[in-house]
Copies of this chain bind each other. A is one copy, B any other.
Amino acid sequence: MLADPLASWNEGVAKQAILAFITKATTAESADFVPLAERIAVFDNDGCLWPENPLPFQVAFAIDELKRRLVSEPELAEEPMVQAALSGDFAKLLAGKHFDGLMQILAITHAGMTADEFGDAVQAWLQTARHPRFKRPYDELTYQPMQELLSLLRAHGFKNFIVSGGGADFMRVWVERVYGIPPEQVVGSTARTKYELRDSGPVLIKTLDYLFVNDKQGKPVGIHQFIGRRPTLCCGNSDGDQAMLQYTTINNPLPSFGLIIHHTDAEREYAYDAETKSTGKLVEALKEAPSRGWIVVDMKQDWNAVFAET
């Protein structure tokens, strides 16, 4: 007997629907066949492939970067927004129409260095930082059932893309090693870099110019701009993914599939997505799911494992 490719998924509606779609999409005689080139699968990252609690991991990185930088740049501690970030006062960072506080933190931690220097900082952080609850490196906390789904789709000719509000430069450092997804299949929030030819060679300096926030209605916009065709499979976990679920599944001339990861497991992970103030709020998309035929994964019921064993 063949090993179950979705071994961490309990039998149920969600697992059956996933397997049925993949079978139909890849069976040439099926009415729901999807040509190889059109097997574009898009996945949100935070809360979909790995957790986004107690803080989105990139925010944890930014705070740890502030702490690291304070050692050599103690004057940073005088900035009110740095103080807010270090004390966890995110309301203050997100206040105002243009999120001036958050932008100031991003300007310190995500701009001014070369793209390579930034990548090295992310790499170093992943090697040393530990998640406060699970006490493991952040990149060991990917969801095992989602890793299985990524592998199964890849084995069936799907090209997996990440389409996340997270920074593309942050994710591209580790996605290939962690998910088997190459950097060129990452659509994230981006800003324009600046090219310079230095004596040491060409560099790209990170800025916050022309910031593109790849979230909510920005997700179909990002998919069009970076991928250039409509996905046939979309998986998200929050209202930030609602627009890309619509874009993938509504009146798509090709067969398509929408999947929502519903965070219902406070014991093994977190149950937070009904909170309307959470970054991972799942209210509107959940309401829309039945009429669109989007399959909702109940983490507590549908997954027999959450993280990979150590």
Contact = CB atoms under 8 A, between A and B. Distances in A.
Interface of A: 37, 40, 115, 159, 161, 168-169, 172, 176, 182-186, 190, 192-195, 197, 200-202, 204, 210, 212, 217-218, 220-221, 224-229, 243, 246-247, 250-252
A295 to B, nearest CB: 19
A168 B225 contact: yes
Nearest to A182: B37
Contact of A201 (B186, B218, B251): B251
Nearest to A245: B202
A226 B229 contact: no
Contact of A200 (B218, B220, B229, B251): B251
A190 B225 contact: yes
B201 A221 contact: no
A228 B192 contact: no
Given A37-B176, A168-B225, A204-B220, 7 more contacts: A168-B228, A183-B228, A183-B229, A184-B226, A186-B228, A195-B218, A195-B220
B197 A246 contact: yes
Contact of A184 (B195, B212, B227): B227
Oligomer copy total: 2
B228 A195 contact: no
Given A195-B217, A212-B210, A229-B172, A224 B115 contact: yes
B183 A227 contact: yes
A144 B186 CA distance: 32
B246 A202 contact: yes
A196 to B, nearest CB: 9
Nearest to A211: B210
Contacts of A247: 195, 202
A217 B229 CA distance: 27
A309 to B, nearest CB: 27
Q: Identify the 3 closest CB pairs spanning chains A and B, nearest first.
A: A201-B251, A183-B228, A172-B228
Most buried by B among A161, A195, A229: A195
Given A37-B176, A192-B225, A228-B172, A250 B202 contact: yes
Contact of A243 (B37, B195, B224): B195
Contacts of A228: 168-169, 172, 183-184, 186
Contacts of A204: 220-221, 224
A229 to B, nearest CB: 5
Nearest to A168: B228
19 contacts: A37-B176, A115-B224, A159-B184, A161-B184, A168-B225, A169-B228, A184-B185, A184-B228, A186-B228, A190-B225, A192-B221, A193-B224, A195-B217, A195-B243, A197-B246, A200-B251, A201-B252, A202-B250, A226-B226
